[in-house]
Structure 1
């Protein structure tokens, strides 16, 4: 297993809510704004700001089948991207609470 895949999986496993993001991405901003509006605690990793960001993005594709950002996990479960997150807005408070993020 690649070191990037190990690192990505470790980040997912150690955090209740993870947003793999890019600093310039409007969909990433929308996802983080929604989580912020709900008062969620989450771990955001800006892939364009770190040296191994491309490798992590490739590893995420192996883990979830999704390479695009945002790539969101709640309670170690792959949620998907921004449209997926926005689509479960009504369930989010309970999911976040169950993940220990509220």
Structure 2
């Protein structure tokens, strides 16, 4: 397994909610705002601000078939991107509670 894939999997495994993001991405900002509004504890890694960000993004694509950011995991399960998260707004609080992120 590549170092980037190991790092990505470690972030997913170690955090109830993990957001793989880019600092300038408006969809990432919307995701982080929604999670913050819900009071969720979540881990964010800004892929444009870490040396191995491109490699992590490649690894995430291998793992999830999703290349775009944000790439969101709740309770170690791949949720998808911002539109997927927004679509689950009604269930989000329950998902976050179940994940131990509230």
For residues 65 and 7 of structure 2, the distance between their equivalents in structure 1, rounded to whole angstroms, comes to 17
Gap regions ≥5 residues in structure 2: none
Q: Segments of 4+ in structure 1 off by > 4 A?
A: none
Cα offsets for 1:58-98 (capped at 9, x unmatched): 00001111110000000000000000000000000000001
Equivalenced residue count is 102
1:44 match: secondary structure: strand
* Structure 2 equivalent of residue 22 of structure 1: 22
* Structure 1 equivalent of residue 32 of structure 2: 32
Q: Does 1:54 align with 2:54?
A: yes
Query: RMSD value over aligned CA atoms?
Result: 0.4
Alignment of structure 1 residues 1-102 onto 2, 5 Å? 1-102=1-102
For residues 19 and 9 of structure 2, the distance between their equivalents in structure 1, rounded to whole angstroms, comes to 13
Give the TM-score taking structure 1 as reference length. 0.99
For residues 65 and 94 of structure 1, the distance between their equivalents in structure 2, rounded to whole angstroms, comes to 26
For residues 13 and 26 of structure 1, the distance between their equivalents in structure 2, rounded to whole angstroms, comes to 26
Give the TM-score taking structure 2 as reference length. 0.99
Gap regions ≥5 residues in structure 1: none
